[in-house]
């Protein structure tokens, strides 16, 4: 883990806020954290989802995050003058509208930009990892 970045802890805290907002279904925090041009790449199918569709899916509980665990030992933060990239791993359990659930591990990349309002997530992508 890179620890000498000027805003290292602030970036990690923002990344953690994103995951907590998913777990608690906190649309207000998600609206604050996601940049207007936010895009996410689906970890399973590779589809591209924009901010409005992502927020609508969370609001409609098309996917409900039941647990999200991250591994700080594997987290890398790369900071640039107005951007930061966080690479980490997660283990998630998600519920679906039909009552079923799925779990999986992934390595993710989050790209943040910094403005006067703080750090905002502009891009997220996960890559599925094999089960242990």
User: Could you report the per-residue pLDDT of 47-100, keeping only the tens digit for each?
Assistant: 999 999 999 999 999 889 999 999 888 899 999 989 999 999 999 999 888 888
Q: Where are the domains of the chain?
A: 8-129
What is the pLDDT, as a whole number, of residue 132? 65
Specify the CATH architecture of the domain 8-129.
Roll (3.10)
Give the DSSP H/E element, type plus range, for residue 84: strand 83-95
Q: Give percent above pLDDT 90 in the chain.
A: 70
Contact 62, 98 (CB under 8 A): no
> Rounded to whole angstroms, how far apart are CA atoms 91 and 132?
11
Supply the pTM of this predicted model: 0.91
What is the pLDDT, as a whole number, of residue 123? 98
CA 47 → CA 79, 101, 116, distances in Å? 27, 20, 31
């Amino acid at each position: 883990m890179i620890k000498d970045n000027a805003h290292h802890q602030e970036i990690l805290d923002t990344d953690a806020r994103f995951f907590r907002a998913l777990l608690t279904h906190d649309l207000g925090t998600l609206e604050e954290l996601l940049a207007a041009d936010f895009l996410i790449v689906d970890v399973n199918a590779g589809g591209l989802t924009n901010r409005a569709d992502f927020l609508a899916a969370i609001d409609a509980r098309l996917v409900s995050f039941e647990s999200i665990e991250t591994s700080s030992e594997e987290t890398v933060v790369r900071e640039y003058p107005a951007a930061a990239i966080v690479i980490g791993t997660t283990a998630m359990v998600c519920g679906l509208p039909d009552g079923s659930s799925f779990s999986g591990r992934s390595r993710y990349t989050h790209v943040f930009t910094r403005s006067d309002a703080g750090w905002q997530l502009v891009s997220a992508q996960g890559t599925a990892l094999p089960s242990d």
